[in-house]
Chain A
Amino acid sequence: MDLANFFIQLLNSVQYGLLLFMLAAGLTLIFGIMGVVNLAHGSFYMLGAYLAWSLGAQFGSLTLAILVGVVLSVLFGLALEWLLFRHFYHRDHLDQVLLTFGLIYIFEEFRSIFWGDDVHGVPIPDVLGASIPLTDNLSYPVYRLFMSGVCVALAIGLYLLISKTRLGMKIRAGAFNHDMAESLGINIKLIHAVVFALGVGLAAVAGMIAAPIASVYPNMGSQVLIMCFVVVVIGGIGSVRGALVAALLVGLVDTFGKVLLPQVSGMLVYILMAGVLLFKPEGLFKQ
């Protein structure tokens, strides 16, 4: 592998890792604060991708589609939290698994009814359609850089939100001690709703910006969900920082595994997880 090729794979793995982080951050926050295991998190990624496809075709602009899509998916998250999830925060994990598994089925069928079962491509916006030439025959698409940029910006935004704002302080208080936070007058129900909608929004944005390079297809949420589980397990449940480190690690292992060891690439990430479990059963950054 020469230097240019190595550089491209490195960029790809960072981009994939950052995308996984967007999903895993929501998953780990929702678990860390509300104690809910959410199998349907991959469906929000799918929802985002399909919104980008259908709204993008409607408006003729991906940017506009993403803006409207974020609003729609956050509203969807709030409604879902109000209708179902808030009644499951104190239930067994078993009930949560079944509820969210049932939701996967329901979401998949609604997707099939409203949007059909075909695979769709989403065009890359013209502004970002160019490629940066690296050598004579290798180049790197600008859109992938744009994706990484969006993810980094959102990650920084998330960090600032949680550690520097009043809302973030309340979120941390709620995660640390739910009852105490409530008795100090924090509206913990509102905090829960906000965190859930935030998680849905992040997953949907990940789906929307990934749509042009990953295309849009049925069951696209399941595979990404399992990768997110691996990320969250490696990083430590409830830890956003752990999710970031683990996501980048998984991105590196997966991308370079496909190039260097194609025969076992599908299993490498899981072997990484097994190794982490052996030495740190509760993840690298246990909360």
Chain B
Amino acid sequence: MSAQQSNLEILPVGVKIALALALLALLAFPFAGTDFYIQMVTRMMIMAIFAMSLDLLQGVTGLVSLGHAAFFGLAGYALTFLTPQGEAVSLWWTLPLAVLGAGLAALVIGFFVVRTHGIYFIMVTMAFAQMVFFLFFDNKALGGSDGLYINFRPTIAVAGQALVDLDDKRSMYYLTLVAMLAVYLFLRRLLWSPFGRALAGIRVNEHRMRAMGFGTFGYKLAAFTLAGGLAGLAGYLWGAQSGYINPELMGFHMSAHAIMMVVLGGMGNFAGAIVGAFTFEYLLHVFKDLPQVGGVNLGKHWQLWMGLFIVLLVTFAPRGLLGLAGRLGRRSHAAGGRSDPKDHQA
């Protein structure tokens, strides 16, 4: 468990500067990129929100959930069912409702799973997510295995005046960027609040926290619910952007991808989750886009490259990119500071 105890909660100055530069790059990106890449970066930011919500459980509280995608998907489905066949709905009430719905589902499932520990928690979260998966997969009324289309993107209007048009790819991009920043700032604030400190205490030593009088069940349930709600925010944005939702978004592959993103960037500080989400999504894009070589379509077998990448990463760099950068930095400067995270393509 020692790997889980020493998270990089306080970001080194170098990392902070790199993050600020990356934010500037993200702000400017829509003026340089094509529609395709604007959509891709929007998707990366959505996944970053999803990964941050998982990091609250995985990195901060020390709960490895293999079913987090269920809440992501549920909010996406909520948007589908709230959008009528022939017209668009307002984001003002559908977004809170979808997030609340995902949070409520997380509260109910959390009530059962939070009482388990370690390996049980992993298996049980996966099993419950699979239950939600089959609920949608098996029921034609809920879209079945094909999923459902969302015909109209939600509208954002004030006093009847359209504020932002989400059909415009740049507007969607900036809405997602604002959401990602808001979630990041909220979670960073939460991390240093008494609540966040209690969650970190649970990760390091739950028995001691209980001995000190903390009702750890309630804390963990609250974290699970909050993380589910934030995953719902990401799922809602996904539905709004892609206009399409299917059960695969709730499957355990999706949950495992999120775990990978958090580990890839570095756990417990939320910045790592963002870096990890961007890196992972970019790699996915690269692997799926590999060329045809000698009659073999390398891109078709993207799972092989991703699988090899994951296996190599956990074998040789279990602490993720930030950890690897830190280790290399320490090696070159002897006792010196950490080097910047090298990877932040935006």
Contact = CB atoms under 8 A, between A and B. Distances in A.
B185 interface: no
Given A226-B252, A237-B120, A92 B3 contact: yes
A84 B301 contact: no
Given A102-B308, A109-B301, A282-B120, A97 B256 contact: yes
Contact of B307 (A104, A229, A267): A104
Given A92-B4, A94-B259, A229-B127, A277 B307 contact: no
Interface string A74-107: 0000000000100100011111011101111110
Contact of A109 (B3, B307, B309, B315): B307
Contacts, number: 119
Contacts of B307: 102-106, 109
Interface of A: 31, 37, 39, 84, 87, 91-95, 97-99, 101-106, 108-110, 112-113, 222, 226, 229-230, 232-233, 237, 266-267, 270, 273-274, 277-278, 281-283
A8 B252 CA distance: 34
Given A91-B318, A94-B263, A226-B130, A37 B119 contact: yes
A109 B304 contact: yes
Interface string B2-24: 01100000000000000000000
Interface string B243-265: 00000000010001001100100
A104 to B, nearest CB: 7
A39 B314 CA distance: 15
Given A105-B307, A109-B304, A97 B127 contact: no
Given A102-B308, A102-B310, A277-B112, 7 more contacts: A87-B315, A94-B4, A98-B256, A98-B260, A105-B306, A109-B303, A274-B128
B64 A94 contact: yes
28 contacts: A31-B119, A37-B122, A94-B3, A95-B3, A97-B122, A98-B256, A98-B259, A99-B311, A101-B259, A102-B306, A102-B310, A102-B311, A104-B307, A106-B304, A106-B308, A106-B311, A108-B303, A113-B301, A222-B252, A226-B127, A229-B126, A266-B131, A266-B135, A273-B127, A277-B112, A281-B115, A281-B116, A282-B116
B58 interface: yes
B303 to A, nearest CB: 4
A266 B134 contact: yes
B194 interface: no
